[in-house]
Amino acid sequence: MARHLVAALLRSGEWRVRVTGLDRDIVLGLDETEELLGDALRDGRAIYAQADVCNLDQLTKGESAP
């Protein structure tokens, strides 16, 4: 569900997004949403940060998960 929201924000052209996850690197699939996200990651409209979404400090300070 979160990736669909990210895709909607990117499609609007009005937002830059930060995508977080526990994995060191983001894994993209082959569907259209993933293609849009991949393009945004390459051109800087989106960034990926390894973070634990249950850790408020990591989310608000932009720190990475251990």
Q: Please give the backbone phi and psi of residue 33, each rounded to the nearest 5 degrees, phi first.
A: -60, -45
pLDDT by position in tens, the chain (length 66): 688 899 999 999 999 998 988 899 988 888 877 899 999 999 999 999 888 888 888 877 755 555
pLDDT at 62: 58
Concatenating the DSSP letter of every residue in 42-57 gives: HHTSEEEEE--TT-HH
Residue 40's Cβ-count burial label (10 Å; 0-12, 13-18, 19+) is buried
